[in-house]
Structure 1
Amino acid sequence: MTEHRIFTTSFASVYPHYVAKAEKKGRSKAEVDQIVRWLTGFSQDELDRQLARQTDFRTFFAEAPDPHSARSEIKGVVCGVRVEEVADPLMREIRRLDKLVDELAKGKAMEKILRG
């Protein structure tokens, strides 16, 4: 079986879509960055470096310094897929990020998005 092409897609090429989705609903780039930092443990400087390096999703998540322990609480459906049932660990991380951005765009409070 061949791997999904999103694994080798650069995070930087998808990131503007996350930001656009959030901004279209009145949220901000800073909030998207906060979600990414919460999920991965990257600092803002580290996140900016990942974007500048055009890191692919596989490397992006592999280099995440401190994936949040509460990320397993991210549940629900995004893109027609139940996040907690995704078998591939990397795809599950990508879907978790998709779900968080989706919650942001739907107006959910940041403290609930960040499972606080």
Structure 2
Amino acid sequence: MRSSFKTGLIGAALTLAAFAAGAAHADTVSITTHANVSAPAQMLSSAMSWAQNPTTPNLTVSVAGKTCTLVSSLQAIGPVGCNYALTVGPDATITGALTAGNQGCTPTPQVASSCK
């Protein structure tokens, strides 16, 4: 009786470990927007963040009339998710960066150019 209980616990632990090893990591996309108000003069900003375990090879984000296609951690397999930051200026220009991720994630120099 004791050995079957131990065997069951070991089997459950191995199953959980195998599932955890194959699980996708959460990806994030943080978006900050800036707007200028002319009277009275001031700059307004807003920020939002999206986080999810990816289900597709790419993350597709539409912002400022453009669609950004970024590599997700489902495609860039590694120990962490693909985490991006996008900034939209008052003139709708988009800048961006890979804030954390694996080598296969969209690199910082290509984040803004992935928005078309």
Relative to its length, the structure with more strand (as a share) is: 2
Query: Which of structures 1 and 2 has the bigger CA Rg?
Result: 2
Which structure's relative contact order is higher, taking Cα pairs within 8 Å and 6+ residues apart? Answer: 1
Relative to its length, the structure with more helix (as a share) is: 1
Whether these two folds match at TM > 0.5 is no
Question: Please, what TM-score do these two structures have when normalized by structure 2?
Answer: 0.23
